Amino acid sequence: MKADDDHELAARLANEAGQCLLELRERRQSEVDGKTLGDEGDAAAHELLVNALAAQRPHDAVLSEHGEAGPAREPAGRVWIVDPLDGTREFSEPGRTDWAVHVALAEGHDVLASAVALPARGLVLDTGAPPKPPARRAGAPRVAVSRSRPPEFVGEVAAAIGAEQVPMGSAGAKIAAVVLGDVDAYVHAGGQYEWDSAAPIGVARAAGLHTSRLDGSPLVYDRPDPWLPDLLVCRAELAEPLLTALSRSAATRPEGSS
């Protein structure tokens, strides 16, 4: 099996799940409430991805936001880490485009191939043909943060580098915004799981962006516990100033200290 096939499969499955979600959203949004729409989307996209991976990669394990599937995970073996619908809340709000489908293949605790679909924007970003981030736009740097749960310390970090904050839903949409040059960085803390970041982190790395934990250490995938609560994605030239600002902020201060 060629590695190229994995890039291609990730992109195809992310696109197919995205089309399924677009169709479901169109058909059901006038019939059910937002919570039901999100739950139906999550379930439909999960089912599509798990069935497709069972048919196309029967020897690989699958770790989805909605449970494990396929053979048991082997230490450092091949595992598809998928988030069928990232930004469930935004998916259920009419007209919003900040939601995504994540499909990643990890091996040796690293992402080998991945794709992020942004169905409502008609885009699929993948590691087989990673986009080159455009030149930085003029003006203050823009830092994407969670729309619903922005970390408290982000204000002081943004101020330290003269940046403005841009609230947005979905980890995949925020990392894609850095890849596409809509923003310059994404800072997250307080909680997340491996499926929230594996696929977009693969694409961001392939596009030459900086990716790490907030203390600068590497993001490691396919650990027994999928909790991966914080991350930084940014243009390479912002890594040093942002990591310095983060190291001086509450972001990396041990809990309980001031």
Which segments are annotated as binding site for Mg(2+)? 65, 83, 85-86, 196
- With CB under 6 A as the contact rule, the residue among 64, 88, 97, 249 that binds ligand A3P is 88
What's the residue count for the chain? 258
The two three-digit tokens of residue 88, written as one number? 């469930």
Which residue lies nearer to ligand A3P by CB, 170 or 249?
170
Which of positions 36-75 make contact with ligand A3P (CB under 6 A)? 65
Report which DSSP code applies to 185. E
Which residue lies nearer to ligand A3P by CB, 19 or 192?
192
Stretch that binds ligand A3P, among 48-56, 69-77, 79-87, 200-208 (CB under 6 A): 79-87
Stretch that binds ligand A3P, among 82-90, 131-139, 206-214, 241-249 (CB under 6 A): 82-90
Nearest to 106 by CA among 171, 199, 176, 211: 199
Q: What angle do CA 112, 114, 116 make, to 5 degrees?
A: 160
Q: Is 169 in the site for ligand A3P (CB under 6 A)?
A: yes
Q: What contacts 1, CB < 8 A, 6 or more positions away? A: none
SS3 118: strand
Give CA–CA dist 15/103, Å, rounded: 10
Q: Is 218 in the site for ligand A3P (CB under 6 A)?
A: no
Give CA–CA dist 21/99, Å, rounded: 10
Q: Is 167 in the site for ligand A3P (CB under 6 A)?
A: no
Give the residue closest to ligand A3P by C-beta: 191
Which residue lies nearer to ligand A3P by CB, 78 or 147?
147
Which of positions 181-200 make contact with ligand A3P (CB under 6 A)? 190-192, 196
Within 13 Å of residue 168, how many CA atoms lie on the same side as its CB? 27
Give CA–CA dist 144/146, Å, rounded: 7
SS3 54: helix
Which residue lies nearer to ligand A3P by CB, 227 or 256?
227
Which residue lies nearer to ligand A3P by CB, 18 or 128?
18
Give CA–CA dist 13/235, Å, rounded: 28
Which of positions 132-151 make contact with ligand A3P (CB under 6 A)? 146-149
> Shortest gap between Cβ of 233 and ligand A3P (angstroms)?
12
Which chain residues interact with ligand A3P by CB under 6 A?
65, 83, 86-88, 146-149, 169-171, 190-192, 196
